[in-house]
Amino acid sequence: MSTPSPVNPAVPAASEATSSSALTELSPEALREWVGEHEDLVVIDVRSAAEFESLHIKGSYNVPLPLLSEHTDELAARLGSRVVLACQSGVRAEQARQKLAASGIGAAHVLTGGVPGYAAVGGDVVRGGSRWDLERQVRMAAGSLVLVGLAGGRFVSPRIRALAGVIGTGLTFSAATNTCAMGKALAAMPWNRATTEPTRESAILQLPVPATDGAAAA
């Protein structure tokens, strides 16, 4: 009599994780369809105001991630059931989704490929002046500091090589915690400041308030 093969408990868990990820992600093509079909759609762009000025989805609202983090409950109270979060690649949008989920908004979607991905599939976008996005600046700053550490350690003092180690440690911590201290620091630099920075009043309190069931019935 043959012995039945043991069930691998990791398989269901992996399937559930994949399913959960699929439920919170939205492709650029799907968003294009939603824009034309759903009047209750709200697209929140969580990038910096400067990035938003350079390129953003037409009709989207700019609520930078730090501002969203500070006023998550107020923002959640103004969002309906069809919310899409967008950034440059999806990383900051996922952070925003997690914060909104903790405030009761569990149906928010993260735009895969970010705003550039939406533009690439022919989505309606608004373009401004050309400017490096924040994530590209982080890669340039980190890479430059590593090169300075290695070159300084070779030609000036071996102690300078520690700089490369510090940057490597910082990047590892950033990936493990899904945060980016360097990105926050760069976002505060003058060249990353827009003409008008969003505030609680200009970004959050001007969002449309979703109609309640009673109001809709009336």
Give the whole-angstrom CA distance, residue 52 versus residue 64.
9
pTM for this one? 0.67
Q: Which amino acid is at 164?
A: A
CB-CB contact of 77 with 208 (8 Å)? no
Give the tokens for residue 4: 């039945």
Instruction: Specify the length of the chain in residues.
Output: 218
Give CA 110 to chain center in angstroms: 8
pLDDT in tens, the chain (218 residues): 444 444 444 333 333 333 344 468 999 999 999 998 888 899 999 998 988 999 999 999 999 999 999 999 999 999 988 999 999 989 999 999 999 999 888 889 999 999 999 999 999 999 986 767 777 778 888 888 898 888 888 888 888 888 888 888 888 877 777 677 887 787 777 777 766 789 999 999 888 877 664 444 44
**Other beta carbons less than 10 A from residue 53's beta carbon:** 18
Give the whole-angstrom CA distance, residue 65 versus residue 74.
14
Give the tokens for residue 63: 């609520």
